[in-house]
Amino acid sequence: MKKLIFPFILLIAISAELQTVAGRRCGNRQISRVIGGYNAARWPWQAELLKKSKDGSFRHLCGASLINDQWVVTATHCLFANPSPQMYKVKLGEYDRYLPEPSEQVFDVTAVRLHQDFLTNKEYGYDIAVVKLSRKVNMTGSVRPICLPPPHQRIAVGTMCYLTGWGRTSYASGSARILQEVQLPIVSFADCLRGNGHLHFVDNYTMVCAGFGGNSIVSGCNGDSGGPLVCNEGGRWTLRGVVSWGDHKCAAGTTYSVFARVSSFVHWIMNKMMSPTPVFYACQDSHWYCAQWVKKNVCFSYYYKNILKKYCPVSCGYCNSSVITR
């Protein structure tokens, strides 16, 4: 019986958090990487994730979604190469990236929580992360949270949803200046597997796919990563996906845009928001996949090395100090 206490408490906390978000009128849009998209009306949960560059300035990296007054959801692949909070800022209320706007709110980042199963046996599965802001958000008509779906509830195939972001508007272009939007239908796992299986592993539990297939040019692109796929459900917008991957050249063609399936991660999201900062010991491996990463010879590659210093310091040969925290 004692073993059931913590899961039960967690479920109560999750239910309370979802109700709290709903109480703040989550998923209500103020009336006022996206290929083939149109300029967007304001989407108040849309966040911009900025990364510190060598000159000290912060530049557009990925999209994200506000889910309560101090946390955003994004993709783990946006943060995996450098999971240090001080490397990032989050901007809310953004529309035109080139102009300062009264609606904008900018935040330092105090915590980064990556899904530890990303880039393991399901490759790009588990491509979801949560980021804590340095202070609470000032909720306005231009800044408010998106609703999370009920845990494990799936969105119906054929539902028309919206992808928003400042990603490239073509493969050869830079990031968009104006927030873009594009409408995409949810597609079946079978269709996504046929269209995308030659690119990467496609997983029905951790991923949801959207797009038109055929010879469509409408898809996500670089810079849209981590951003929201939202669906209007009963008059409220719900976060159904986090932009993960697709065709490498942003040309949808017969492929689809692939998203982290948010409904599969609601429990994980709530758990990470309530958990203390994890401690990583420099001379103790803490990840079940360390041996496989060593076999893949990625310990010292640019994309992996910073996170593997924390996950696999012994296996990767980084055992040279006492304690590392994230």
Catalytic residues, by residue number, are 77, 127, 225
Q: Is the dihedral of CA 266, 63, 70, 239 positive or negative?
A: negative
Those residues whose C-beta lies under 8 Å from the C-beta of residue 236, and which sit 6 or more positions away, are: 26, 27, 28, 147
HSE-CB for 16 with a 13 A CA cutoff: 8
Between strands 207-210 and 257-261, the pairing is antiparallel
Do the beta carbons of residue 90 and residue 61 sit within 8 Å? Answer: no
d(CA 133, CA 68): 10
Residue carrying the six token digits 């040279």: 320
Backbone phi and psi for residue 279, each to the nearest 5 degrees, phi listed first: -110, 130
Residue 155 · residue 208 · CB < 8 Å? yes
